[in-house]
Structure 1
């Protein structure tokens, strides 16, 4: 048996803190150097007021926790007690290409932007990806009720006759509601392209939107730009999703209204007061407008757990049942229906992030009656791989990917045979282990029985002598 090396967690923590401090110190040096330029820029945004950029010492910044995995925050104060925040991106990897740097609206050697300061603290939810939301019942209900009220407010501000995409503002000095327009969708991960125009959209339907995302992902996979360990299965899985999305009637519906979806709902985007009431919302960078069904479907934080990922279980979770109750209580059965019937959208968040351990039937189930009648994929992945290769064997793109990465149906058949042999070996090892454990238990039981009777005889002997 392989022995894993022991980890000195104290050393690990110290190393992690040391690494964070190096990054934070680097940012502090930049901010100190350009403090006056930053204050001047902020003052031009709010004419007639003077501001001060508060730059803490390194140890105070570390204690404040005004930083996370990507950004560091600095307080900006005005003479009339109005507060803003400077948000600075932590340095990661190489600099962006020159053509991107040319259009970034900053004259300083780091990425930043300025936004309004809001009171409160981020809501902390101990969410293990394999477990449901871990909150006491009363706190869970309070969180869900607060979330429901936010969603109801968003449902009351639809955009009429607008396409699916991200919100942009016109380049005017004075921005009004009329200056807000819908533009291409600002996507993440594989939902973008490395050359202009970079982003996709506008979209009339979600079918167009998801097909664009899948096609972009297939391009990345074919070029070996994603994780290569499961490249072939990754490509085939996205081909399957493409076929299912293309035949989905729900996704092909056009709508005369679109609604805002936050798109980064992890829990800590909600700011709460001391009583746990939600008072504001952060991190709107990825927000977009979409159909009512998608906008008010529940995010992954509500339903992602072991059953969702490893068993393909799409049933309602406790938090979702409470959310339905809240919507019904407020007379919004339409939003309750979005929770009940729209797991399709939560599943499609997985585009671009293939996980071989996620059971594929969970993704198929949400397409309901729109699954093609001749589509009957095997349950285990080795048979599924062969089935999909044969199903899409006439696709030129698939032929090229298989050729480029050394795959063929013959190789897939060989992989299946290796897997079958390995399963037999695993089952043999399991039975052997079970037999050995059973023998150990029998032996232990006999030893315990023997010890019991020997102890009992000794006790009877002592009692007999005492009686005499």
Structure 2
């Protein structure tokens, strides 16, 4: 998990993953110093201004103001002009932090050329918890390589243009402006009833086109060092959850999804044993990952379709990555950061956008939503029963990707159990779950050592 040096002067420890990064004072703290006596209490919250979920308004404003200063000095317009000789582009940097357009990781700036051509400058925010420069460059290289591979194969993704001169202070690139508006995140039957049939049809067609682009392993795409304009290569899998503090930054590539998940689970278990992860729920987090490991090891259908090759998977398919027109037709699919290759079964499972968020997060339901059933019907109509099967059997991937490397969740764990053919436990509390898990895995040496460490710490 990504960590940083502790912000306390003289401390040589690394920060506690995630919970050690304070969203109020924008500093990083190790396990020893991660309490309110060393920094501001991160409970401040301004409901009227929440540019990035969880981060306070004052901290967000400070970071965007820093980004504004860098953008004003960088002269992105000149970089855009260099990519279109003979034309002049205009980029307006917002004067107020409230006027930025974007999400938690990036902002976008419209680029308008003198001949009417429109681009977007996609700029990574200057957050206090941003990855190291080498990792950021790796992420951009992977995203660009993936988008170019899709574009070359006729998929509706925007063209990408890298600046001719790199900027040590900013990570950005240009891409074609995509008309339309983002679909709802997540989609519901009630938000766009007149647009849904066309949207689902176009989404199925996009996925069918994507199914023609295959790769040799599970990981992420990168430009080939010896042939930067040639075919990309498969390297480590870019992951927001499972990453290292040092090169190669990510794990992989992998030959199968079973290998991928087991490697990531073992890494998470090691992080817990080394007191770097889930300090407040270390035992329960360990037990949860032991159970997930057991499910993954015993599952007999991992190789279903993997012999055909591997396919690109959008890593944040919650709905607003799909741009649509007034009729619901897809004008483009955007935001491919963290994209990776995976098995056919996972790549063509329904996107998170088609799930009912309430049913999924509040009940851990494994039943298909009406939108997922509509997608299955569309695949069948288009004579792709193989992709329909991926939707029918693909729910487990959503649960796995929300649980491996993440804090234990009673509701989602019951859904994962059901996906793997086990009964839902329905624990009323985490304490009840932990007691059950301690008995089930009482012979696991790692759990024994972890509990002995906690007993010594309490004494």
TM-score, with length taken from structure 1: 0.71
2-side partners of 1:209 and 1:330: how far apart?
32
1:242 aligns with 2:293: yes
Query: Could you tell me which residue of structure 2 aligns to residue 277 of structure 1?
Result: 329
1:108 aligns with 2:167: yes
Query: Could you tell me which residue of structure 2 aligns to residue 403 of structure 1?
Result: 452
Name the CA shift for 1:25/1:193 in 2 (closer, same or farther; >3 Å): closer
Give the stretch that moved more between structures: 385-394 or 334-343: 385-394
Query: Could you tell me which residue of structure 2 aligns to residue 436 of structure 1?
Result: none
Query: Could you tell me which residue of structure 1 aligns to residue 218 of structure 2?
Result: 164
* C-alpha contact 1:28 1:55 (8 A) present in aligned 2: no
2-side partners of 1:244 and 1:181: how far apart?
31
- Alpha-carbon distance, 1:202 to partner: 1.7
Query: Could you tell me which residue of structure 2 aligns to residue 183 of structure 1?
Result: 235
* C-alpha contact 1:118 1:280 (8 A) present in aligned 2: no
1-side partners of 2:227 and 2:86: how far apart?
18
- Alpha-carbon distance, 1:96 to partner: 5.3
2-side partners of 1:101 and 1:68: how far apart?
17
Give the stretch that moved more between structures: 166-175 or 243-252: 166-175
- Alpha-carbon distance, 1:304 to partner: 4.2
**Deviations 1:153-204, CA, capped at 9 Å, x for gaps:** 1123233xx111111111367623xx21212211112x22223322111211
2-side partners of 1:384 and 1:212: how far apart?
25
Query: Could you tell me which residue of structure 1 aligns to residue 74 of structure 2?
Result: 34
Name the larger-Rg structure: 1
Give the stretch that moved more between structures: 284-293 or 395-404: 395-404
Name the CA shift for 1:329/1:98 in 2 (closer, same or farther; >3 Å): closer
The partner residue of 1:145 within 201, 218, 222 is 201
Q: How many residues are paired up? A: 384
2-side partners of 1:80 and 1:151: how far apart?
34
After TM superposition, the structure 1 = structure 2 runs for residues 35-184 of structure 1, keeping only pairs within 5 Å, are: 35=75, 38-39=76-77, 41-42=79-80, 46=83, 48-59=85-96, 62-63=98-99, 65-78=100-113, 81-93=116-128, 108-125=167-184, 127=186, 134-159=190-215, 162-171=216-225, 175-176=229-230, 179-184=231-236
After TM superposition, the structure 1 = structure 2 runs for residues 413-428 of structure 1, keeping only pairs within 5 Å, are: none
* C-alpha contact 1:73 1:85 (8 A) present in aligned 2: yes
TM-score, with length taken from structure 2: 0.72
**Deviations 1:225-267, CA, capped at 9 Å, x for gaps:** 3443332211101110001101111125542321211121011
The partner residue of 1:353 within 380, 386, 406 is 406
2-side partners of 1:148 and 1:265: how far apart?
14
1-side partners of 2:94 and 2:243: how far apart?
39
1-side partners of 2:117 and 2:125: how far apart?
26
The partner residue of 2:357 within 305, 324, 347 is 305
1:347 alignment partner, SS class: helix
Query: Could you tell me which residue of structure 2 aligns to residue 389 of structure 1?
Result: 438
2-side partners of 1:126 and 1:32: how far apart?
32
**Deviations 1:131-154, CA, capped at 9 Å, x for gaps:** x56524333333322222211111
**Deviations 1:292-339, CA, capped at 9 Å, x for gaps:** 111111122222433333433211111111111111111111111111
2-side partners of 1:231 and 1:193: how far apart?
19
- Alpha-carbon distance, 1:22 to partner: 4.6
1-side partners of 2:292 and 2:456: how far apart?
21
2-side partners of 1:343 and 1:109: how far apart?
41
The partner residue of 2:313 within 261, 266, 276 is 261
After TM superposition, the structure 1 = structure 2 runs for residues 309-328 of structure 1, keeping only pairs within 5 Å, are: 309-328=361-380
Give the stretch that moved more between structures: 119-128 or 258-267: 119-128
Name the CA shift for 1:340/1:98 in 2 (closer, same or farther; >3 Å): closer
- Alpha-carbon distance, 1:81 to partner: 4.3
Q: Tell me, which stretches of 5 or more residues in structure 1 are unaligned?
A: 1-6, 412-468
* C-alpha contact 1:77 1:83 (8 A) present in aligned 2: yes
- Alpha-carbon distance, 1:404 to partner: 2.3
* C-alpha contact 2:414 2:424 (8 A) present in aligned 1: no
Name the CA shift for 1:69/1:247 in 2 (closer, same or farther; >3 Å): same
1:143 alignment partner, SS class: helix
Query: Could you tell me which residue of structure 2 aligns to residue 363 of structure 1?
Result: 416
Query: Could you tell me which residue of structure 1 aligns to residue 249 of structure 2?
Result: 198
- Alpha-carbon distance, 1:406 to partner: 3.1
1:308 alignment partner, SS class: helix
- Alpha-carbon distance, 1:360 to partner: 2.9
Name the CA shift for 1:384/1:142 in 2 (closer, same or farther; >3 Å): same
2-side partners of 1:220 and 1:359: how far apart?
22
2-side partners of 1:389 and 1:158: how far apart?
43
